[in-house]
Structure 1
Amino acid sequence: MSDAILTVGNANVFYGDSQILFGMSFSVHKGQVMALLGRNGAGKSTTFKAIAGLAPPRNGAITVSGQQLRGRAPYTIARLGIGYVPEDRQVFPDHTVQDNLMIGAKRGTDRRMQWTLDRIYEVFPLLATMKTRRAGLLSGGEQQLLTIARTLMGNPDVLMLDEPSEGLAPIIVQSIGKLIVTLKELGVTILLAEQNMHFCLGVASHVTIVDRGRAVYHGTIEQLRANQDISQRYLAL
């Protein structure tokens, strides 16, 4: 759609001779929380890597705010407004929490700094209490919060969260969910990759289901709730 902030159109991605994504297509609009749902190995993380330039599509189109991303270097894609939080929570372990945040700081595509240290500490009060702590000493959940906050310091147009609930204790998953809802209320556009449907039902506004490298369903969360056949066919374990 013409007013989409992020569009993936007919993208085919290969790892060597093996094709992983087959004509992947979907759009994300400003202020949406779009969940890419699918079983493990469906192609969600590869879709994120394709957008971020880490697994460039062989053909097709990927645009953010009308700018073509396919063929660009990952650092250029970041400057064009894509903020990527990978599933393995990469922090700089020997640097403090505040140093990690400052490493990610840059102006947005509109040259504004909507996300500053003060605003980060307001939205992430736990990080404010440990700003001088080395990031390598944080728990997995705390590192997840830090990587999300550090990416926001880059003032992205689209925040991509790859499996943010993976491997975390239920109480931490609940905290991550509340954070995503807060970000949604603040107008942050989010693309979320998850295999935890119940987690997504509580935070997302829209959903694209991925199965065997293809987008097989698009709709709102309410439409997915009402469609048990789709849930059973593509998401039930």
Structure 2
Amino acid sequence: MSGPLLEIQGADVFYGASQILFGIELAVEKGQTMALLGRNGAGKSTTFKTIAGLAPPRHGRVVLAGTTVSGRAPYRIARAGIGYVPEDRQVFPEHSVDDNLIVGAKRGASGEDHWNRTRIYEVFPLLAGMRDRMAGRLSGGEQQMLTIARTLMGNPDILLLDEPSEGLAPLIVQAIGELIRTLRGMGVTILLAEQNMHFCLNIATHAAIIDKGQIVYRSTIAELRDNDAIKQRYLAV
């Protein structure tokens, strides 16, 4: 494969008659951790839903590993290699941690089986100690970790994390950040949507900023860290 692992090319996305995304252009290379930053309501979650097939573009397309996936059913997009972790941590509350992982288990698009329960429990030792606990009895941070782990059990080519730090206590946010850095070090390709710029500065390699449904800035995370004008204009609350 040549070119980016994931591309959004000129995507216009509507909810009914209302246009939410305007010609979105975004590319994520294999092995990158790309932060999609923006204020609340800027279009981050809609961008993720567009990639996952839940909000298909009216114009433009989503390309994974050189193949257009937009227009497919969401489950087919997931099978193609896109792992989506939504912001509302949708665990199966009446099932155990272990059962949640089993539900998410599948081989990757090319038959990969890098992620299984043995490896998950090595990378997520917190979950290993509560594998028999009902998921509905976990804390918010524990549920976030479980949702990420369950998505990895599908052996995706790219992991979409929608607001992984939202609503969590500072110590849990730190733990989620350490987990993402661990995954990055393992070569996992990650696209995360965040309002929390400071969280992303410590874990991402690259950044894009979305404002009013348009990508207005793309660069490395190091260059964004030094660009006070851009941060003030698009990210200051």
**Contact 2:3–2:66 under 8 Å retained in 1:** no
* 1:26 corresponds to: 26
Matched, 1:75 2:75: yes
Query: Could you tell me the TM-score, scaled by structure 2's length?
Result: 0.99
Tell me the amino acid that sits aligned with residue 137 of structure 2: L
Corresponding residue SS for 1:146: helix
* 1:187 corresponds to: 187
* 2:118 corresponds to: 118
* 1:199 corresponds to: 199
* 1:92 corresponds to: 92
Instruction: State how far apart, in whole Å, the 1-side matches of 2:77 and 2:59 are.
Output: 17
Share of identical aligned residues, percent?
A: 68
Matches within 5 A, 1:79-228: 79-228=79-228
Superposition deviation, residue 43 in structure 1: 0.1
Instruction: State how far apart, in whole Å, the 1-side matches of 2:43 and 2:210 are.
Output: 7
In the alignment of these two chains, the number of paired residues is: 237
Instruction: State how far apart, in whole Å, the 1-side matches of 2:2 and 2:115 are.
Output: 27
Of residues 62-71 and 77-86 in structure 1, the stretch that sits farther from structure 2 once superposed is: 62-71
Corresponding residue SS for 1:10: strand
Tell me the amino acid that sits aligned with residue 11 of structure 1: A
Instruction: State how far apart, in whole Å, the 1-side matches of 2:67 and 2:81 are.
Output: 10
* 2:230 corresponds to: 230
**Contact 2:4–2:30 under 8 Å retained in 1:** yes
Query: Could you tell me the TM-score, scaled by structure 1's length?
Result: 0.99
Instruction: State how far apart, in whole Å, the 2-side matches of 1:63 and 1:92 are.
Output: 30
Question: Runs of 5+ in structure 2 lacking a partner?
Answer: none
**CA RMSD for the aligned pairs?**
0.9
* 1:45 corresponds to: 45
* 1:20-70 C-alpha deviation (Å, 9 max, x unpaired): 000000100000000000000000000000000000100101111111111
Matched, 1:6 2:6: yes
Tell me the amino acid that sits aligned with residue 205 of structure 1: T
Corresponding residue SS for 2:179: helix
Instruction: State how far apart, in whole Å, the 2-side matches of 1:72 and 1:66 are.
Output: 15
